Amino acid sequence: MIAVIGSFDGFHLGHKRLFRAAEVISRRLSDSWCVVTFFPHP
C-alpha cells in the first residue's frame, strides 16, 4: 500500500502531482494507494 499523508487544504496542482506519483508507483508495484488526511485540520 502506497500512502500519501498530509494536511490537504484543497486540491491544487501540487497535490495532484503527489497523487499521480502515488498512482504511478502503485501500478508499477501492482499495489494500491490511498490518501491519509487529518480532521480537524491542524
25: cell is 508507483
Q: Which amino acid type is present at position 26?
A: S
Rounded to two decimals, the pTM is 0.80
| Nearest of 31, 33, 38 to residue 19 by alpha carbon | 33
* pLDDT tens, the chain, 42 aa long: 999 999 888 888 999 999 999 999 999 999 999 999 988 877
Q: Give Cα 25 distance to the centre of its chain.
A: 11
Please provide the DSSP assignment of the chain as one string: -EEEES---S--HHHHHHHHHHHHHHHHTT--EEEE--SS--
